[in-house]
Amino acid sequence: MKKQKIILLAIILICTYNMWAASHTIVRSSSILPIDTAQITEPNDTAYPKTKITIDRLSEVVVEAKNEFADNNIIIPIKVETIGKNYFIKNNDATFAKTLTSIPGIASMDIGAGLSKPVIRGLGFNRIAVVDKAIVQQNQQWGADHGLEIDQYDVDNVRIHKGPMSLLYGSDAIGGVIEILPTTPPKENLFWGDINLIGKSNNDLIGTSISANLKRNKWFVKVRATSQYFGDYRIPTDTIVYLTWKMPLQSGRLKNTAGREHNLSLSANYNDGRWDWWVHLSNIFSKNGFFPGSHGIPNLARLVHDGSYRNIEMPYATVNHFKAISNASILITDNAKLTFNLGFQQNRREEVSVFHTHYSNQQPPATNPDLELLFKLNTVSVNTHLILNENKPWTQSVGVTAEVQKNSVGGYSFLLPNFRQIATGAYWVNTFKFCNHIYLLAGIRYDIGRLNIDGYFDNLFAEYLKGRGYNQDEIAKYAQRAADLQKTFNDISGSIGFVYKKAYQTWRVNIGKSFRYPSANELASNGIHHGAFRHEQGNISLLPEQSYQLDAGYEYSISNFSISATPFISYFSNYIFLEPTGEWSILPHSGQIHRYRQAQVWLGGGEISAQYSPIKDFTASFSAEYIHNLNITDKYPLPFSVPAKMAFDILYTNITTMDIIKSYSLKLGADYIFAQNRIARNEDTTPDALLLNFSANVFWRINKWSMITDFQAQNILNTRYFNHLSFYRKLNAPEPGRNIQLIIKIPFSI
């Protein structure tokens, strides 16, 4: 009792001091971040029709980006990065995931120039969740050669949670969440939109993205269409050496890495002050070629130039991702708000390669003879939560989530069986506001899931083994590629965190436990995965991953200087990873078996970033990130370990009084990627690299027309470097070389 009184007295004294300090603090500029011209001229879609530059618009940007306690989301005492539409124009890269990599702690696992998936603090695949309009996206993210189907030109606002989020999102959020938020409609009635013209030199990309938006009283409608076509991308070498094979490249281009993308989306909103209802429809289609040397044993004849850098030959993959989402919220009372989110997704992936038999007795299928693998995943998701006493000293949130999945497979090869999965969970989160500066969060969640996997007996393989003299017991063992399997998982996650916010600084501490269910491929895959160059085999004895983590953070910000540090450490008692076994597979042309297993793992590191404006219009920025991991059981690092990275930028911004050029910014940046010598077994080390980049962003006003141009020169020196996480790293293929790109955005309004 005495200790409780002392703690309570300490809290009261801290609150009293901070209220006194706040009342005696000189009010400084509200600009927490150094002024950015693009942020002033186009904070969001609703600002495009407005060409007059005002202080009010600058204030709006700052509040939207930094006031994490003023929305309807639960306070989480881990660092949250908030970015808007400007970011995706000024930092535009090949894909949505690649564009995010300029944020410390975010990396991308690239598959050529057209596909990539995000990695947060060294965790990727099924360990991070992409939440699009409150629904977790499900798109076969387990595959090393599978990308993320998101149209970055259709993204207006994003929150990135760098840390465990199982408390709110369940299994696949053990490493973090990328949360895509809907557009914020304007208050006034308006019709507006934009036309984006896109050109990139490295792979001869041409594209366009067009949007139209209408706000009428309580209704808001938004439509966007995006199309992009690109050719084989250039790398700074004319030869790749893989498995002693020297593979020549015509004009330094990686053959058959061309692709195309067609996206269409529609959003509609009704808001009468009490009801707020959204409907989102989207369809993402992409077709991407694969370098012929990356599938199976290299064949030099397949690498001969075919006369075109833009055609797509086999092998290639097509992906179509359809989403239908409904978000509804209602103010039940002044102190109670209920939200209900419902989503349906269909992800269809086809991997096409010229029919090649691994068995002498295998005949091509009668239909679609070149369809090697087909995955069709249907997902229905629902979640609802009730927020009580929002913006009061004690806020409570209760939520329920559920998800049903059905995956069917096809093609002349076998890797993964059919499966069905259902998962549901419930959570309770409390936020306590002791005074204007101290927040405490505590929450708990329980989840249960059921996975049903269909068995698969490979008759062709059985005949193949019989012809080679195997007995019936051996045939039954090896030809049963997948067994009927029913697994039930359940687990508890919890978190307790502390946030202390003062005039110029914020402290954060969060301790929690998270979990992740093993995925169907980790339990039941069994076949040659050409895209990953190996025979992958699941392990039915896997248990859910358990993670215990500590996150901390410190932020200090005044008018011309800010600094942020976010260290973390995690312990996995049974981390799941794919390990070479040393066993030789009896599947023809397959090599060594790689089997999933579990081990104890430590993971730690953090990010630091700083910005300083020594004089008007100039801003210097620095960031660094480092991740260290260790497989404690085997004394090896984990595979796909993200190397350390530093970035330094100098930004010049100018708001002019000229008639045509209203504002512009110039930025020169240097990225240094450290060598990655801490590797898992069966991995190659990756050397360090220094990349130089330049960008120029200009806001034009010509008569009554506004225009924004963004020019970027990426990898100016055409440096030969490797991404340790890249799909083509195993081939010793470097990343794309110099790229010059220009995006012209033409806003319009009526």
Q: What is the pLDDT of residues 459-518, one digit of tens each?
A: 988 998 998 899 999 999 889 999 999 999 999 999 999 999 888 999 999 999 999 999
Q: Which residues pair with 707 in a beta bridge?
A: 700
Mean pLDDT is lowest, of 6-15, 150-159, 212-221, 337-346, for 6-15
> So what's the pLDDT on residue 76?
65
Q: What value does the mean pLDDT take over residues 289-296? A: 77
- Burial class from Cβ neighbours inside 10 Å (0-12, 13-18, 19+) for residue 235 reads buried
> So what's the pLDDT on residue 534?
79
Residue 61 has pLDDT above 60, yes or no: no
Higher pLDDT, 134 or 293: 134
Residue 533 has pLDDT above 70, yes or no: no
Query: What is the CA 672 to chain-centroid distance, rounded?
Result: 22
> So what's the pLDDT on residue 151?
96
> So what's the pLDDT on residue 59?
28
Residue 575 has pLDDT above 90, yes or no: yes
d(CA 255, CA 731): 13
d(CA 384, CA 649): 42
Query: Could you report the per-residue pLDDT of 616-625, keeping only the tens digit for each?
Result: 999 999 999 9
Higher pLDDT, 301 or 431: 431
CB 700 within 8 A of CB 167: no
Residue 553 has pLDDT above 50, yes or no: yes
Compute φ and ψ for 348, nearest 5 degrees: -120, 120
Residue 297: pLDDT band (50, 70, 90) is low
Q: What is the enclosing helix (H) or strand (E) of 221?
A: strand 219-230
Q: What value does the mean pLDDT take over residues 627-640? A: 94
Q: What is the DSSP string of 357-370?
A: -SSTT----SSSTT
Q: What angle do CA 578, 402, 414 make, to 5 degrees?
A: 35
Residue 531 has pLDDT above 70, yes or no: no
Query: Could you report the per-residue pLDDT of 354-412, keeping only the tens digit for each?
Result: 887 777 778 888 889 999 999 999 999 999 999 999 888 899 999 999 999 999 999 99
Q: What value does the mean pLDDT take over residues 346-351? A: 97
Listed in sequence order, the residues at least 6 apart from 159 whose beta carbon sits closer than 8 Å to its beta carbon are 80, 81, 82, 177, 178, 179, 181
Task: State percent of the chain over pLDDT 90.
Answer: 69
d(CA 592, CA 737): 33
> So what's the pLDDT on residue 31?
27
**Amino acid at the residue 15:** C
Mean pLDDT is lowest, of 240-254, 423-437, 570-584, for 240-254
Three-state SS for 76?
coil
Query: Could you report the per-residue pLDDT of 19-56, keeping only the tens digit for each?
Result: 344 333 333 332 222 223 333 333 343 333 333 333 23
Q: Which residues pair with 624 in a beta bridge?
A: 608, 646
Three-state SS for 279?
strand
Q: What value does the mean pLDDT take over residues 580-592? A: 82
Query: Could you report the per-residue pLDDT of 81-136, keeping only the tens digit for each?
Result: 999 988 998 999 999 999 999 999 999 999 888 889 999 999 999 999 999 999 99
Residue 609: pLDDT band (50, 70, 90) is very high
Q: Is the peptide bond before 315 cis (omega within 30 degrees of 0)?
A: yes
> So what's the pLDDT on residue 548?
97
> So what's the pLDDT on residue 20?
40
Q: What is the enclosing helix (H) or strand (E) of 120?
A: strand 115-120
d(CA 39, CA 321): 32
Residue 672 has pLDDT above 50, yes or no: yes
Query: Could you report the per-residue pLDDT of 404-415, keeping only the tens digit for each?
Result: 999 999 999 999
d(CA 61, CA 179): 19
> So what's the pLDDT on residue 198?
97
Domains assigned to the chain: 2-749 (2.40.170.20)
Residue 57: pLDDT band (50, 70, 90) is very low
CB 167 within 8 A of CB 174: no
